[in-house]
Structure 1
Amino acid sequence: MKLIDLNRDGGIGANSLLVQFGDLRVLVDCGLHPKKVGRAATPDLTLLRGTPLDLILITHCHLDHIGSLPVVMREHPNTPVLMTAASRMLIERMLHNSANVMMRQRETENIPDYPLFTHEEIERCVGRFTGLAPGHVKKFRGARDEIEITFHHAGHVAGAAGIEIRHKHRAVFFTGDVLFDNQRTLTGAKFPAGHFDTLVTETTRGITERPVGKERVHEVARLIATINDAIQRGGSLLLPVFALGRMQEVLAILHDARKFGRLVDCPIYASGLGMDLADYFDEITRKTKTLQFNRSLVKDLKIKPLPRKLNPGEDPQQRSLYVVSSGMMVAQTPSYLLASGLLGHARNTIAFVGYCDPDTPGGQLLAARPGDDFVFESIPLKTKVKAHIERFELSGHADREELLEFAVQTEARSIVLTHGDPPARAWFAEALAAQLPRTKVIDPVPLQTYQV
């Protein structure tokens, strides 16, 4: 098997791997880098030009894994795309939302490359999307070679899958993004145990050791207590969340807490793509049984939409809970604008429940100290950090020890490290070398070819 990482900068971003099995060329994901713009945000697709691409496989529908998919499909107009049935139900909505965002960015930020694809192109793509049930074996034949493909439930987010590929007498496993813990809306990963010849594993939390007492059940209880505390002292609490997965998970947690009388009575505001996706989660629950989410909880919680116009730097003073995107508080998103008004008042709390890139406003706020000046550059506005800043270990990614345990039991001859910053990959490389001294561990340099 040959493998090339097409993510220009490595790390976490425009995730995309080109893998070759005999004469079959397969692309695993084709994402968009969240911190870059224009063509620079896409994987480097030059190696695909002028050569056949037989198949595209999608692990899940976060934009760092699908955000450039219509671009590569435009250049390879006959290549089929396989994913889980749940991802098939989500992918069009996610791509259409991405096109909308790029259209706005073209106007507001003068990015001439945008949009990278249009709504019409997305509609032309969908006929090539096929959804498969987890555990279903799909054979795919090229001119000479044949592979067997099986998606395995990966936790993480609705539709997420690890991908098992068998070619001749060899078995390869791609973890994709994975979470082994059960979430309120989604059970943990169910990966096959036993040997694989090659393992391609995510490494997101390689530098994050979960402290004792930070188990998910304890963190959920601490989150509810923190919300109650903020409201009871006369403030508001902002929860920046990712629209796909994290918002629906948080809403389900809030619903349970209110149902059992643990959540203080307060207005809850939520809107945007995450609320739209609640309908999709309800449908996925009914049709695929891979989720546990009922749209009625939105009515039970009496969710209110955000005001159409959020004034930068203004504290709404509503004694309310805001569950809004983006999860990393990216500029000009609802969470960014709300934070600009809430941050300067000690009665308020801003609480993060997922991964924040250190270079994003969310990551920068987590690194700030009380009393520091914090600059909301795109507004522009400078304010003192007076609000309480909290972080909860509710990541959608597996702890490093769990991933290491899974990797070791595979006894793979080769292990490829992906989807992690350099220090995270380095931790895995060292830990794997210690426990699997005969295994070849590869941290791929972008655009280099590896025989694995």
Structure 2
Amino acid sequence: MKLIDLNRDGEIGANCHYIQIGSLNLVIDSGLHPKKAGRRAAPDFGPIRGVHLDLIIITHCHLDHIGSLPVLLREHPEAPVVMSTSSRMLVERMLHNSANVMVRQKEEANIPEYPLFTHEEIDRIAKRLTGIPFGQAKRIQGGKDDITIILHPAGHVAGAAGVEIHHKRRQIFLTGDVLFEDQRTLPGAKFPAGRFDTLVMETTRGITARGSEKTRLIEVNRLIDSINDTIQRGGSYLIPVFALGRQQEILSIIHDARKFRRLVDCPIFAAGLGMDLADYFDEISRKTKHVRFNRGIIKELQIKPTPRKLNPGEDPQQNGLYIISSGMMVERTPSYTLASGLVGHARNTIGFVGYCDPDTPGGELLASKPGDQFLFKACNVKTKIKARVERFDLSGHADREELLEFAVQADPRVIVLTHGENEARAWFAGQLAEKLPKTKLIDPVPLQTYQV
């Protein structure tokens, strides 16, 4: 087996791996880097230019895994694409939204290369995208060889899949992004137990240790208490969320809290792609049973649309709860603009509920201290941090100990580390070397070829 990480920057970004198994050529995911712009945000497809691809496999529909898929399909017009049934229901909507965002960024940030693809191009590739149910074996033939792939629920987000590949007597497993713990909207991962020859595993939370005092239930209760305290102090509460998965999860948590009279009475504001995706989650829940979400909770919560015009540096003084994207408070998003007006007032709180890259505005705000000056560069607002800034451990990624346990029980001949910052991969490499001394560990350098 030959492997090349096509994510030109490594770490977490434009996730994309080329894998050659026998005579078959596969690509796993084709994402966009959230911190890069233009073609630099896409993987480097140079090493597979001119290669006949037998199959492209998508693990899930976050844009760091699908955001450059139309570009890849443009270069490989014959390659079929498979993903889980749930992901197939989401993928076109996510890509169309990405095209809209790139058109806007072309003007706002002067990125002449955008959009990398058009709505018409998304419509043309749709017939090449196939959804397969979890647990159903699919045989792929190419040249002299054939493989069998089986997708397994990976938790994380609706449709997320771990990928099991059989080639002759060899079994390969790719975790994709995984969460073993149940969420309100989604059961945890259900991966096959037992030995694999090769394991390709994510390492996102390698530098994050979770103590016994930070169970998911405790963190949910702490979030509700924090919202109640802020509203009762006359403040506004902002929860920056990812549109796919996290917004629906937070809405479900808030709905449960209100149903059991644990949440104070306050207006709730939400808008954007995440609210649109609630319809998709409702449909997936009815058709596949792999998601637990009923769109009726939006009506029951009496969700109000976020004001169309959020003025930079201005506190709307609504004394309400805002559940809006982006999750990392990326520049020129509603959460970024609203935060620029909330941060300067002690009555307000910003509560982060997911991963924030250290180099994003959300990550920079989390690293700052009360009283520090904070610059919202994109909207030309500089303010002293007076609001509370809190982090709640409700990650969509597995704890490092759980992933380590899965890897150890798989007892593979080779482990390939992916989807993690350098420090996170280093933690896994150290632990795995100690617990699996006979296993070969590969932390791939981008664009370098490895014989696995």
Q: TM-score range by the shorter chain?
A: over 0.9
Any idea what the Cα deviations from partners look like across 1:242-288, whole Å, max 9, x if unmatched? Answer: 00000000000000000000000000000000000000000000011
Q: Provide the residue aligned with 1:169 in structure 2.
A: 169
Residues 95-134 of structure 1 correspond to what in structure 2 (within 5 A)? 95-134=95-134
Q: Unpaired runs of 5+ in structure 1?
A: none
Q: Provide the residue aligned with 1:427 in structure 2.
A: 427
Q: Provide the residue aligned with 2:203 in structure 1.
A: 203
Distance in 2, Cα, partners of 1:244 & 1:51: 33
Q: Provide the residue aligned with 2:148 in structure 1.
A: 148
Distance in 1, Cα, partners of 2:149 & 2:26: 11
Q: Provide the residue aligned with 1:376 in structure 2.
A: 376
| Secondary structure at the counterpart of residue 378 of structure 1 | helix
Any idea what the Cα deviations from partners look like across 1:388-419, whole Å, max 9, x if unmatched? Answer: 01100000000000000000000000000000
Any idea what the Cα deviations from partners look like across 1:109-137, whole Å, max 9, x if unmatched? Answer: 11111000000000001100100110000
Q: Provide the residue aligned with 1:254 in structure 2.
A: 254
Identity of aligned residues (%): 71
Any idea what the Cα deviations from partners look like across 1:311-351, whole Å, max 9, x if unmatched? Answer: 00010111100000000000110000010000000000000
Q: Give the drift of 1:71.
A: 0.2
Q: Provide the residue aligned with 2:409 in structure 1.
A: 409
Please tell me whether residue 323 in structure 1 is matched to residue 308 in structure 2: no
Q: Give the drift of 1:211.
A: 2.1
Please tell me whether residue 438 in structure 1 is matched to residue 438 in structure 2: yes
Q: Provide the residue aligned with 2:239 in structure 1.
A: 239
Distance in 1, Cα, partners of 2:21 & 2:321: 51
Residues 272-421 of structure 1 correspond to what in structure 2 (within 5 A)? 272-421=272-421
| Secondary structure at the counterpart of residue 135 of structure 1 | coil
Any idea what the Cα deviations from partners look like across 1:44-83, whole Å, max 9, x if unmatched? Answer: 0011111211100000000000000000001111110000
Q: Provide the residue aligned with 2:269 in structure 1.
A: 269
Q: Unpaired runs of 5+ in structure 2?
A: none
| Secondary structure at the counterpart of residue 351 of structure 2 | strand
Residues 205-220 of structure 1 correspond to what in structure 2 (within 5 A)? 205-220=205-220
Residue identity in the other structure for 1:407: A
Distance in 1, Cα, partners of 2:50 & 2:232: 63
Q: Provide the residue aligned with 1:81 in structure 2.
A: 81
Residue identity in the other structure for 1:204: T
Distance in 1, Cα, partners of 2:143 & 2:199: 26
Q: Provide the residue aligned with 1:12 in structure 2.
A: 12
Q: Provide the residue aligned with 2:46 in structure 1.
A: 46
| Secondary structure at the counterpart of residue 179 of structure 1 | coil
> What is the TM-score with the length of structure 2 in the denominator?
1.00
| Secondary structure at the counterpart of residue 25 of structure 2 | strand
Distance in 2, Cα, partners of 1:85 & 1:165: 18
Residue identity in the other structure for 1:329: M
Distance in 2, Cα, partners of 1:198 & 1:345: 52
Residue identity in the other structure for 1:432: L
Distance in 2, Cα, partners of 1:90 & 1:448: 32
Distance in 2, Cα, partners of 1:309 & 1:97: 20
Distance in 1, Cα, partners of 2:47 & 2:363: 34
| Secondary structure at the counterpart of residue 144 of structure 2 | coil
Distance in 2, Cα, partners of 1:368 & 1:410: 41
Residue identity in the other structure for 1:259: K
Residue identity in the other structure for 1:203: T
Residue identity in the other structure for 1:350: I
Q: Give the drift of 1:295.
A: 0.3
Distance in 1, Cα, partners of 2:430 & 2:289: 39
| Secondary structure at the counterpart of residue 134 of structure 2 | coil
Q: Aligned residues, how many?
A: 452
Q: Give the drift of 1:104.
A: 0.5
Q: Give the drift of 1:193.
A: 0.3
| Secondary structure at the counterpart of residue 423 of structure 1 | helix
Residue identity in the other structure for 2:256: D
Instruction: Output the aligned Cα RMSD.
Output: 0.5
Please tell me whether residue 180 in structure 1 is matched to residue 163 in structure 2: no
| Secondary structure at the counterpart of residue 309 of structure 1 | coil
Q: Give the drift of 1:23.
A: 0.8
Q: Give the drift of 1:212.
A: 2.3
